[in-house]
Amino acid sequence: MKSKQLKLGAATLGTSAVLAMGAIGVVSGVSSAQDEPPKPPSPEITLGETTTSTTAPSEPETSVATPEVTAEPAPTA
């Protein structure tokens, strides 16, 4: 008989805890939605004094890339 009473008490305590956590979650969700801080104004986009505008060259500086180091071929057995 004691086992059934213990199980009933544990189930009651667990259910109470779940309901309390749900109520706290709802209350905190409502208050945080109302107390949303204002967003700061977005900064104005400007070009600094050191900005220079250039156009890309019409041809690349290196037309063909060549390796600086050459290696000997691997020996064949």
Residue where the block lists tokens 């204002």: 38
Please write the tens of the pLDDT for every residue from 17-69.
Answer: 999 999 888 887 765 555 667 788 877 777 667 767 788 878 777 767 777 87
Q: Which residues of 9-22 are buried (b: 16+ CB within 10 A; e: fewer)?
A: eeeeeeeeeeeeee
- CA distance linking residue 47 with residue 53, whole number of Å: 10
Residue where the block lists tokens 């213990």: 6
Token pair recorded at residue 48 = 């600094």
Please state the pTM of the whole predicted model. Answer: 0.38
